[in-house]
């Protein structure tokens, strides 16, 4: 079902874990499959200097978390918010149609973590 790239990343995901005293934390879930993704961000001057994740979910969700956290490192929060699930799928060189929602979780978890960061700035 999965391509080689997804399987390779699933077997060796980057950025697994949590960041102590993270500046932004976002947790999202998909009600239909029950999978949960939590993203931790370290942010300095609105630039994401570190990102980690914990995902309780399928191989596509874990691979999506890995590439999404890689993609946002070094980006400003504005740039990170522009990353769509389609960009995550492209990095993964494709996902099966029934697994597209797993990449949506990554987009949503990043947005939730940034929202959490912004709410703390106020
Ligand atoms: Fe729901 Fe993958 S099956 S996140």
Exactly one of 16, 25, 33, 36 is catalytic; name it.
Answer: 33
Ligand 1 touching residue 62 (CB < 6 A): no
- Ligand 1 atom, smallest distance to 32 CA: 1
**pLDDT category of residue 105 using cuts at 50, 70 and 90:** very high
**pLDDT category of residue 122 using cuts at 50, 70 and 90:** confident
pLDDT at 9: 98
Q: What percent of the chain has pLDDT over 70?
A: 100
Ligand 1 touching residue 6 (CB < 6 A): no
**pLDDT category of residue 109 using cuts at 50, 70 and 90:** very high
* CATH of residue 42: 3.90.1010.10
DSSP secondary structure letters along the chain: ---HHHHHHHHS-SSBS--TT-SEEEEEE-TTT--EEEEEEEEETTEEEEEEEEEES-HHHHHHHHHHHHHHTT-BHHHHHT--HHHHHHHTT---GGGHHHHHHHHHHHHHHHHHHHHHH-
Report CA(122)–ligand 1 centroid distance (Å).
34
Ligand 1 touching residue 106 (CB < 6 A): no
The pLDDT of 82-108, averaged and rounded, is 97
Q: 40-80 pLDDT, tens per residue?
A: 999 999 999 999 999 999 999 999 999 999 999 999 999 99
pLDDT at 93: 98
Asked if residue 101 has pLDDT above 90, the reply is yes
Exactly one of 95, 102, 105, 114 is catalytic; name it.
Answer: 102
The pLDDT of 23-28, averaged and rounded, is 98
Query: Can you give the residue range of the structural domain that contains 92?
Result: 4-121
Asked if residue 4 has pLDDT above 90, the reply is yes
pLDDT at 56: 96
Structurally, the chain folds into a number of domains equal to 1
């Amino acid at each position: 079902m999965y391509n080689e790239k997804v399987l390779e990343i699933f077997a060796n995901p980057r950025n697994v874990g949590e960041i102590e005293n993270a500046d932004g934390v976002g947790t999202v879930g998909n009600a239909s499959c029950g999978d949960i993704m939590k993203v931790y961000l370290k942010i300095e001057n609105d630039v994401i200097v570190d990102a980690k994740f914990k995902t309780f979910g399928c191989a596509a969700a874990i691979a999506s978390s890995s590439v999404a956290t890689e993609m946002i490192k070094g980006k400003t929060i504005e740039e990170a918010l522009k990353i769509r699930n389609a960009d995550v799928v492209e990095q993964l060189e494709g996902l099966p149609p029934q697994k597209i929602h797993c990449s949506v979780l990554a987009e949503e978890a990043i947005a939730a973590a940034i929202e959490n960061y912004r709410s703390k700035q106020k």
